[in-house]
A and B are shown apart, each in its own frame.
Chain A
């Protein structure tokens, strides 16, 4: 008898679930560290690297990444991986600006691979709003949850 969570339970628990809104300010020091870590070319003083559409979403959202893994009945040490990622820009993200982050789970798909066995692809869409309430960017991320053999 498999103890892998059923796809029906995952769909019932995740789809339509909206996270409590979060907030994130792109601090200059933190932006410097991230830009350095990803090998960014020089940027204008107040312009955030475009990957901050992802970083702002992930750091600003509630729950945390660890809790996202737990929502889908997994944990960080189970080898959760990135499957797909989408970024959509409506404004240039600015260093020093604060963004409200909203979002939730939008898609759950179960697949089977010869190498990883059963795996679930869980998509989280996060929307960032600038201080004037306008949509600034959208980050859509699909995480791959290995479940082991069928």
Chain B
């Protein structure tokens, strides 16, 4: 049963890989070299390793929601704030908690997040259909 306080089971990436960053850069025509060139990351003072795309980090949270609900069509809205970078080879854990349930509308509102080794890197709110 989904109720206020229900925890969304975590989606864990044990070591963020670099190759998918290149795939996403190419598919999205994303020309930002911080996703594939460590020397640019260093020259900008942003760290020592390449930086995962923000939307990929957001996707980890959506993966947690899909696994939790067993339904990839349940997401109605999501708003997130990117609070930090995720670097190659870091361990990240996406999760969330139900904060409100509207049984008439069959909707649940959830705080969602992505945590890295140095704390929270994404926080936000998602609304999902429940009981469909």
Measured between beta carbons, the chain A residues less than 8 angstroms from B58 are: 51, 54, 85
Secondary structure at chain A's binding surface: helix, strand, loop or mixed? mixed
B-contacting residues, A53-87, CB 8 Å: 54-55, 58-59, 64-66, 76-77, 79-87
Is A86 touching B62 in the complex (CB atoms < 8 A)? no
Quick one: given A33-B23, A36-B20, A59-B28, are A41 and B55 in contact (CB under 8 Å)? no
In the complex, per-residue mask of A32-50: 1 if CB is within 8 Å of any chain B CB, else 0: 0110111111011001011
CA distance A54 to B58 in the complex (A): 10
For B66, what are the chain A residues with a Cβ–Cβ distance below 8 Å? Answer: 40-41, 43, 50
Contact B29 A89 (CB under 8 A): no
* Chain B interface extent, by class: 35 or more
Q: Name, among B40, B56, B63, the residue most crowded by chain A CB atoms within 10 Å (CB to CB).
A: B63
Please determine whether A87 and B59 come into contact, CB atoms closer than 8 angstroms: no
The DSSP consensus for interface residues of chain B is: mixed
Cα distance, A102 to B79, chains bound together (Å)? 20
Q: How far is the CA of A140 from the CA of B10 in the complex (A)?
A: 26
Question: Count of chain A residues with Cβ under 8 Å from any Cβ of B?
Answer: 37
Partner-B contacts on A (CB < 8 A): 30, 33-34, 36-41, 43-44, 47, 49-51, 54-55, 58-59, 64-66, 76-77, 79-89, 92, 146
- A selection of 19 A-B contacts at a CB cut-off of 8 Å is A34-B27, A37-B56, A38-B24, A39-B11, A39-B63, A40-B59, A50-B66, A55-B27, A59-B29, A65-B28, A65-B30, A65-B31, A65-B32, A66-B29, A79-B46, A81-B82, A81-B85, A86-B77, A86-B78
Beyond A40-B66, A49-B62, A66-B31, 11 extra complex contacts between A and B, CB < 8 Å: A36-B20, A38-B20, A38-B59, A41-B67, A50-B62, A54-B58, A76-B33, A82-B54, A82-B55, A82-B82, A92-B73
Interface residues of B (CB under 8 A from A): 11, 13, 20, 23-24, 27-34, 40, 44, 46, 54-56, 58-60, 62-63, 66-67, 72-73, 75-82, 85
